[in-house]
């Protein structure tokens, strides 16, 4: 499986906003003024990644949600709480990981009321934002990157990945990183009151444990 073209991504969108200083603090400050795609016009703010700057595991979601957009922090809503539970079950301390998203601004559409409804970012918006993800991987140097959901998997590995088939396996991805794809916590959250919930949650925890095996140098499958 061919990883995304890093050089091509850097020629679009956010590339001109990424500073030469690749420390996370400098990247976060610069990202606050990013105008690399149109999403900034309707979002409250840029929601950059957070966590341990020397994390061995990086978790990458799709984009910030409504609560993350308002708070300015990733994974602080219901999906973030479910992620915390899954990490605890997998024996992974969230304080020791780095969490971010493939897209740094909230993509949404209005409902009939005042709610802002999640809207999946377009391929162009994902590509435009990729230089920030490249820079975060460069800065943190994680041993393994967990792609949470299809959008993150496509951004990190390429268009051929299928989370339903490839989840829990290891791939060579963006910037040569080791990537383990799995579902996004929000997909499990939608099943919380249904019999399938615990089964999918258990598989999610298993995928996170597979990432710790990849981190320790024991890949769960061959890269494609």
69 contacts 48 by C-beta, under 8 angstroms: no
Burial class (CB in 10 A: 0-12, 13-18, 19+), 117: exposed
Q: What is the pLDDT of residues 2-16, one digit of tens each?
A: 444 443 333 459 999
Summarize the confidence of residues 67-96 as an average pLDDT. Answer: 95
Residue 10: per-residue pLDDT: 39
Q: What is the pLDDT of residues 154-197, one digit of tens each?
A: 999 999 999 999 999 999 998 889 999 999 999 999 998 888 99
Residue 115: per-residue pLDDT: 83
Q: Give the full edge-to-edge strand order of the sheet including 171-172.
A: 50-51, 97-101, 57-61, 144-148, 178-182, 171-172
Confidence category of residue 215, pLDDT binned at 50, 70, 90 = low
Task: Record the tokens describing residue 107, joined without a space.
Answer: 């993509």
Q: Are strands 144-148 and 57-61 parallel, antiparallel or unpaired?
A: parallel
Distance of alpha carbon 43 from alpha carbon 108, whole angstroms: 8
Summarize the confidence of residues 121-139 as an average pLDDT. Answer: 96
pLDDT of 221 higher than 70? no
Give me the architecture of the 6-215 domain, per CATH: 3-Layer(aba) Sandwich (3.40)
Residue with tokens 């496509």: 154
Q: What is the 3-state secondary structure (H, E, C) of the chain?
A: CCCCCHHHHHCCHHHHHCCCCCCHHHHHHHHCCCCCCHHHHCCCCCCCCEECCCCCEEEEECCCCHHHHHHCCCCCCHHHHHHHHHHHHCCCCHHHEEEEECCCCCCEEECCCCCEEECCCCHHHHHHHHHHHHHHHHHHCCCEEEEECHHHHHHHCCCCCCHHHHCCCCEECHHHCEEEEECCHHHHHCCCCCCHHHHHHHHHHHHHHHHHHHHCCCCCCCCC
């Amino acid at each position: 499986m061919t990883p995304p073209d890093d050089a091509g991504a850097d020629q679009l969108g956010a590339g001109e906003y990424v500073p030469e200083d690749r420390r996370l603090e400098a990247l976060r400050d610069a990202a606050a003024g990013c105008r690399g795609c149109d999403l900034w016009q309707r979002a409250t703010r840029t929601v950059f990644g957070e966590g341990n700057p020397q994390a061995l595991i990086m978790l990458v979601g799709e984009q910030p949600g409504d609560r993350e957009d308002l708070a300015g922090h990733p994974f602080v809503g219901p999906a973030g709480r479910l992620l915390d539970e899954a990490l605890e079950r997998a024996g992974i301390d969230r304080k020791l990981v780095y969490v971010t998203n493939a897209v740094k601004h909230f993509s949404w559409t209005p409902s009939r009321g005042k709610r802002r409804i999640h809207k999946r970012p377009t391929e162009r918006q994902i590509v435009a934002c990729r230089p920030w993800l490249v820079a975060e991987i460069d800065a943190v140097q994680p041993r393994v990157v967990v792609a949470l959901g299809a959008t993150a998997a496509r951004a990190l590995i390429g268009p051929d990945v299928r989370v339903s088939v490839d989840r829990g396996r290891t791939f060579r991805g963006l910037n040569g990183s080791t990537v383990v794809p799995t579902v996004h916590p929000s997909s499990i959250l939608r099943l919380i009151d249904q019999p399938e919930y615990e089964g999918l949650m258990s598989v999610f925890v298993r995928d996170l444990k597979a990432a710790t095996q990849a981190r320790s140098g024991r890949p769960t499958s061959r890269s494609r």
